[in-house]
Structure 1
Amino acid sequence: MKLGYNEIMITSMYFNDIKDFINLEIGIKRFQGNTERFHFNPIPLDEYSRKFFPNIETFHIYNEEDEEFDDGRIFKKVIWYDISYSQYLKEKEEGNECKHIKYTESDREKYGCPIPKNVSIIGENCFKDCYDLTTLNIPTTITKLGNKCFDQFWSLTSITIATTIKELWESCFDDCYSLTNISNENLMFVSKERIFMNEAILMSIKTPKNLQTINGKRVKMKNINQFNIPSSIHKLANNCFKECTLLTTIIIPTTINELGKNCFAGCSSLKEIVIPTTINELPDYCFYKCKSLSDITIPSTITSFGKYCFLWMCVNDK
């Protein structure tokens, strides 16, 4: 099969470095001029790489520290990094597009508690100290809940965690003393320490102290001395099993390809674990304070160890 101009252009959209684009055009003569066909920049640009994409009309800003350009034919910007709702409104007026809009604490103080529908992230401390509110509607556009975003939301009695949420901080409901009901369509497991939910990224939160019902039914908390991860799970989120002090055994299936930070931190009763060859990295604080962990099988596929990964534990690695 012979690749044409369109096919190679689509393929090169996944390149990570300007050198890849240059090598393509040097190595295969008929693909010369590939970068000139782009009407957007598929990678972050600097003064050197900008000249290879002379026909850009839409400029994509992937990271906050990226260099920005508004020369040539550029008439619109697409911002991919997290941006506050207030800043989004300014960018919108200028005809720009924002992919990840965060509702911050200052946004909430300025625009009120109803979460705008185009917001995808609830920021850190966003609804902190909202003492009088009893309910809050979280739109299905939300994909991330920030750290302590509902901290001291004292009158909150019920909340729905939509399956669209792919990342949340374990302490997002700290000091929600009146929270008695949580709803989630993809509930996995409930223990005295944590509530596990969602696919294909397994997430968890601390079990609220006064929780009475989940999905409208009386809570039945199970002991978490053993935990079987379903094969439908591909990633364990940050803090997933953090401080599950009764957990002694866990089997990580080969469907798992990523472990989040603090994944097993503080699992003081965990004795042994086998890491599958599908995992390439052990993140920061992964087994921090796993004081009973004496046997751990680390495959040769592991190429990176995060900081304090094995701090404060006694272990025989295999």
Structure 2
Amino acid sequence: MQLGYNEIMIVSKYFEDINDFINLEIGIKRFQGNMERFHFNPIPLNQHSRKLFPNIETFHIYNKEDEIFKEGRIIKYVIWYDVSYSRYLKEKKEMNEYKNIAYTQEDRNTYGNTIPIEVKSLGFRCFYRCYDIQSINIPTNVSKIGNYCFKYCSSLQTIEIPTSISKIGGSCFSECYSLTSLNIPTSVIEIGDDCFIRCSSLTSINIEDIKYISEERIFMNEAVLISIEIPKN
């Protein structure tokens, strides 16, 4: 079975280096012009490699350090690196697409404790020292909870972690003195250091299926914890 133009374009969009694109067209004559068929850039570009993708209409910005081009047919930008919610609000009128909107501590101070549905991650110390919060609703779009996110939320009693969450950062719930129980869904694959340290009321926690746990440092100094369920497999 031979790959056609459409198939090789699908395969090549997963290339990570410009040389892979160049070698494909040099090595296989019938795939010459593959880069010209792209209407988006599958990798970050520089002044040289930009010329190899002349028909881009949607420009993807993968990292903060990426070069940005505005000439040619480009009519839309897709930003992949973390962008604060404040920046998203300022720039959304430009009709750009933001893949990873983070709710930062500054955002929370400005817009309040209700997490907007557009948010994909909770940033470093987002709810740090929010002493009066008793419960929090995390939207199902959120996939990551940052380090120290809820540290010192001393009145926090209940929090439901949605199945969209894959990572819980270090010291995330440390010193949450009023938290009594917690269910961590199978979607979570990583829990950071000291995540539940000094949660003095935490008596029950259910960890369904975690691929990486920072071993003993999660529950340091938890004299009150009486029930923890971790799958044997």
TM over 0.5: yes
SS at match of 2:199: coil
Matches within 5 A, 1:5-44: 5-44=5-44
Question: Whose strand fraction is larger, Structure 1's or Structure 2's?
Answer: 1
Q: 1:94 to 1:160 in 2, by over 3 A?
A: farther
Q: Which has the higher contact order (CA 8 A, sep 6+)?
A: 2
**Counterpart residue type for residue 120 of structure 1:** S
Q: 1:141 to 1:181 in 2, by over 3 A?
A: same
Q: 1:72 to 1:152 in 2, by over 3 A?
A: farther
Q: Does residue 1:131 correspond to 2:130, yes or no? A: no
**1:68-115 deviations in whole A, cap 9, x for unaligned?**
233333233333333444444445444333334434333444431433
- So what's the TM-score if we normalise by structure 1? 0.57
Q: Mind listing any 5+ residue stretches in structure 1 that lack a counterpart? A: 187-197, 220-228, 231-318
Partner of 1:212: 226
Q: CA deviation at 1:18?
A: 1.0
Q: Is the 8 A contact 1:124 1:149 kept in 2?
A: yes
Question: Whose helix fraction is larger, Structure 1's or Structure 2's?
Answer: 2
Q: CA deviation at 1:204?
A: 4.5
CA distance in 2, matches of 1:87, 1:120: 19
Q: Does residue 1:175 correspond to 2:170, yes or no? A: no
Give the RMSD, CA atoms, in angstroms: 2.5
**Counterpart residue type for residue 71 of structure 2:** D
**1:124-155 deviations in whole A, cap 9, x for unaligned?**
22212211121112222222112222222221
**1:248-286 deviations in whole A, cap 9, x for unaligned?**
xxxxxxxxxxxxxxxxxxxxxxxxxxxxxxxxxxxxxxx
Q: CA deviation at 1:37?
A: 0.8
Counting aligned pairs with the same residue, the percent is 60
The count of aligned residue pairs is 205
Q: Is the 8 A contact 2:191 2:212 kept in 1?
A: no
Partner of 2:182: 159
CA distance in 1, matches of 2:201, 2:70: 51
Q: Is the 8 A contact 1:105 1:127 kept in 2?
A: no
Matches within 5 A, 1:115-126: 115-126=138-149
